A = this chain, B = another copy of it.
Amino acid sequence: MTFIPKDPNFEQRVRASFDLQTVNQTLGCELLSVGPGTCVIRLPHNPALCQQHGYLHAGITTTIADTAAGYAAYSLMPPNSEVVSVEFKINLMAPAVGEVFEARAKVDRPGRSLTVVRSEVVAITDGKETTVALMQATMICLPGAADKTA
């Protein structure tokens, strides 16, 4: 399914928002790509972000899945808008072990208010990929700062 963005400058808007998220720099997340209804977030393995068995903590796996899902949804929202996560569900399907992790999100159904997105997290080692988590999320579009002061 292909989506037509309402905002031709969606990539710039998404990247500006991503840069405002301090958690991304703290964890080492990179916004690899954003398209109309898609987004990929990358996080290199970091031994400081693990759970008790040395795997990436489920909460950190979730963090990149959520960020990718939010920006996939945000790419289809109008210029003066904000995106916030309403809720999500994630299955942790395999130990999060790898050199690098990528969260790849894709909008399933964009809505004026609510957007449904799925996000998959893969662990990559020597170019070989393993899916470690699967998220289904609901994002909401809020009128942005410009609208609110209008």
> How many of chain A's residues have a CB under 8 angstroms from any CB in B?
49
Interface of A: prevailing SS: mixed
Bound: A25/B134 CA distance, A: 27
Closest residue to A69 on the B side, CB-wise? B58
Bound: A107/B47 CA distance, A: 29
- Say yes or no: is A149 at the interface (Cβ < 8 Å to chain B): no
Question: Which residues from chain B contact A118 at a C-beta distance below 8 Å?
Answer: 134
Distance in angstroms from A53 CB to nearest chain B CB is: 7
Q: Are A48's CB and B26's CB within 8 A? A: yes
Please report which residues of chain A, range 22-36, place their CB below 8 angstroms from some CB of chain B when the two chains form the complex. Answer: 22-23, 25-26
Contact of A50 among B22, B62, B91 (CB under 8 A): B22
- Say yes or no: is A75 at the interface (Cβ < 8 Å to chain B): no
- Say yes or no: is A113 at the interface (Cβ < 8 Å to chain B): yes
Closest residue to A18 on the B side, CB-wise? B52
- Say yes or no: is A109 at the interface (Cβ < 8 Å to chain B): yes
Bound: A126/B15 CA distance, A: 35
